[in-house]
Amino acid sequence: MKTLIHPTAVIHPDAQLHPSVEVGPYAVIGEKVKIGAQTTIGAHVVIEGSTEIGVGNKIFPGAAIGMETQDKKYQGAESWVKIGDRNRIREYVTINRATGEGEATLIGNDNLLMAYVHVAHNCTVEHGTVIANNVALAGHVCIESKATIGGVLGVHQFVHIGRLAMVGGMSRIDRDVPPYMLVEGNPAKVRSLNLLGLKRANCTPDEMAQLKQAFRMLYRSKYSFSQAVEQLYLLADNEQLQHLRHFLQLSLSEGRRGSIPGI
């Protein structure tokens, strides 16, 4: 019978691993770790703290998950990393626990985190995202489903990146990225709709036309940005526009960093 745990791996006796989990050479798995079925842990991976990992994940060599937050406010509270199913976490990715008592850093399902991605405390990465090499997410960043983040960039703390957005590589992201938009540059600007992403998401011609109308209202009209957001309520309604309006209203609210402007 095949041995699923390499003899050089160090696994705490109280860690909870499904019998189908594979663990590679010199991996270290801590006391409070739970790992679901059909997950593969590569060589030299370190998983510590209160960390839950779901089904069918593949974690590549050198990743460090569940380590203590780098937040200077951290005072030793019991906090979590929670990772869903079918994620690909590539070499030397780091995912830190949250800061506050009972809080969690959350990774959803079907995400690809490429090599050297850093996910800081209290981040949320939803489902189906692609985060390219050397991306650094500061604390409390939220990335909505099916967003694509280009390589070698930083995202400021508390920034939200919207559903099906695309962020070009080597950009500086210091404000919210609206859903469905393509953002690029330093300073970053909204360049266009993410037309390719919307097409791949099976956006209908009517939905695409309404989003193009919304884009023109927000970034090519005489209105101020806040006025343009209000004008969106006059457009024909669909689920994408509802989500876009809600996201932008939150971006404009107190305590948020605002939205990245257009060109």
pLDDT by residue, tens only, the chain of 263 residues:
466 999 999 999 999 999 999 999 999 999 999 999 999 999 999 999 999 999 999 999 999 999 999 999 999 999 999 999 999 999 999 999 999 999 999 999 999 999 999 999 999 999 999 999 999 999 999 999 999 999 999 999 999 999 999 999 999 999 999 999 999 999 999 999 999 999 999 999 999 999 999 999 999 999 999 999 999 999 988 999 999 999 999 999 999 999 999 99
- Nearby residues of 83 by Cβ (< 8 Å), 6 or more positions away: 51, 52, 53, 54, 57, 65, 89, 95, 107
Quick check: 231 and 132 in contact, CB under 8 A?
Answer: no
Q: For residue range 180-238, list pLDDT tens digits in order.
A: 999 999 999 999 999 999 999 999 999 999 999 999 999 999 999 999 999 999 998 89
Dist CA 129 CA 110 (whole Å)? 7
The CATH number corresponding to 10-140 among 1.10.1740.10, 3.10.20.30, 2.160.10.10, 3.40.50.620 equals: 2.160.10.10
pLDDT of residue 3: 63
From residue 204, give the alpha-carbon distance in Å to each of 108, 195, 208, 214: 26, 12, 6, 15
Return the C-alpha torsion angle 176, 178, 184, 185, nearest 10.
Answer: -30
The conformational region for residue 138 under phi > 0 = left, psi -120 to 50 = alpha, else beta, is beta
Architecture of domain 199-251: Up-down Bundle (1.20)
pLDDT of residue 145: 98
From residue 196, give the alpha-carbon distance in Å to each of 27, 114, 167, 179, 255: 39, 21, 13, 14, 32
**Residue ranges, CATH 1.20.1180, the chain:** 199-251
pLDDT of residue 110: 99
Q: State the amino acid at position 194 in one-letter form.
A: N
**Residue ranges, CATH 2.160.10.10, the chain:** 10-140
Q: State the amino acid at position 16 in one-letter form.
A: Q
In the three-class reduction of DSSP (H, G, I as helix; E, B as strand; rest coil), residue 105 is classed as: strand
Q: State the amino acid at position 30 in one-letter form.
A: G
Q: Which residues pair with 136 in a beta bridge?
A: 118, 154
- The one-character DSSP state at 99 is S
pLDDT of residue 237: 87
Dist CA 115 CA 133 (whole Å)? 5
Q: Which helix (H) or strand (E) holds 230?
A: helix 225-231
Question: Phi and psi for 200 in degrees, rounded to 5?
Answer: -65, -25
CA atoms within 13 A on the CB side of 109: 4
Burial (0-12, 13-18, 19+ Cβ within 10 Å), 206: exposed
pLDDT of residue 236: 86
Q: For residue range 163-185, list pLDDT tens digits in order.
A: 999 999 999 999 999 999 999 99
Mean of all residue pLDDT scores within the chain = 97
Dist CA 167 CA 171 (whole Å)? 7
